A and B are shown apart, each in its own frame.
Chain A
Amino acid sequence: MELLSYRHTALPRAKGSKQQALVGVVASGDLEVLVERTLPDGECEVNICTAVAGFGNLWRAVVADFVDLRSPGGLKLSVNDGGARPDMVSLRLAQAVHAVTGDHQ
């Protein structure tokens, strides 16, 4: 197991008032993302627990892209990874933000 943690400045604040959401499942090639609105408005934190060690650089790049694209200000995202590929990770992170900012999961 490898634990990774990334903290970013992220403006603007994520929309909506929903406090948390969960997307995905920990399965082969998939991951779950728990997103919680617990941080100060301009901050974003992504904590990852992955079954596949040694891909820290890739995770850093995917998370940086995600913060650039989605502006998840105020959100803390916790990831349990079952060995998902980077494209799947990007989609799940985006889905998590959509779930916590919109009305639908």
Chain B
Amino acid sequence: MRDELSWYESTARQRLVGLLDADSFVEFLGPEQRETSPHLPVFDLPVQFDDGMIVGHGRIKGTHVFLAAQEGRFMGGAFGEVHGAKLTGLLRAAREIGSTPVLILFDTGGVRLQEANAGEIAIAEIMRAVIEARLAGVPILGLIGGRAGCYGGGSLIAGCCSGLAVSEQGRISVSGPEVIETNRGVEEFDSKDRALVWRTMGGKHRRLIGGAEVYTDDSMASFRAAALYLLELVHALTAGTLEAEQNRLEQRIARFGHCEDAMDVWALLGATDASGVPGMAYADFMTLAAGLEAPHHDAR
């Protein structure tokens, strides 16, 4: 029954239980330490004992990993000062140890507006810490399938990771739908068109366009399998990796830059019924994706 639980509907703590071997999770800076936000009380807002970020270590099918999980229902999973510092500390510890992979369970709208400057600095510190850990040989893997998706600074961090797994519900984008509409107008992006939002930012498109290595179903078992698969991939970060990634992105913009809609991209990739892709069940989509292009594992 634990395996069937929905990742999307679960809390961050439930996801950690569902992902890891039984009773293997040990938390750092747990809620009893009460390391809460110093900023929220200024705005007369309630704090959460873990500040929406749970960090620790555990085992996944015997493999020792560090983990960070965001609680998307607390302040939209947004990065504040303490929230960010817990992840930065975990990544720096991983860099020092040099061999233990890190799994980041993203569920975030980006920077917490009430802690804007501290939150922006946290994003920058985390991105640096991700790159430093990767240069030290540590795989940093992102799992995305929460209510808040992975937006803003969270998507920038995800972009720095060595590998990503995403479910259909796990949207990835720098700007959210409302932000794009507010800045560029409804003709550019209609945030109320949910089908448009999902097919532009959702997991299927991210998998097909190469933004995520793995597409997963929305269950604990599927996310666990995705994490194990990512742990098996080669993740060395070298100047060659960055050049390959730059090439991949240049080719992508040259090939798809003129597309008006995600469906145009899928058609170019060879999907015969692009309009049917959003409605596809997990297994059918996996068959389709396997028949199109494989993700580029040499890049990132």
Listed in ascending order, the chain A residues whose CB lies under 8 Å from chain B are 1, 20, 22, 25-27, 30, 32, 34, 36, 49-51, 78, 80-82, 105
Contact = CB atoms under 8 A, between A and B. Distances in A.
B32 A34 contact: yes
B46 A80 contact: yes
23 contacts: A1-B44, A1-B45, A20-B32, A22-B49, A22-B50, A25-B11, A25-B48, A25-B71, A25-B73, A26-B74, A30-B73, A34-B32, A34-B49, A36-B32, A49-B46, A49-B47, A50-B46, A51-B45, A51-B46, A78-B49, A80-B47, A80-B48, A80-B49
If over half of B's interface residues share one DSSP class (helix, strand or loop), that class is named, otherwise mixed; here it is loop
Contacts of B295: none
A39 B234 CA distance: 51
Chief secondary structure at chain A's binding surface? strand
Interface string B20-42: 00000000001110000000010
Interface residues of B, number: 17
Contacts, number: 45
A32 B30 CA distance: 14
B34 to A, nearest CB: 8
Contacts of A78: 49
Contacts of B41: 1
Interface of B: 11, 13, 17, 30-32, 41, 44-50, 71, 73-74
Nearest to A49: B46
B47 A26 contact: yes
Contacts of A27: 73-74
Contacts of B48: 25-26, 32, 80
Contacts of B47: 26, 49, 80
Given A26-B74, A32-B49, A105 B13 contact: yes
A75 to B, nearest CB: 13
A58 B49 CA distance: 24
Contacts of A22: 13, 31, 49-50
Nearest to A28: B73
A51 B31 contact: no
Contacts of B31: 20, 22, 32, 34
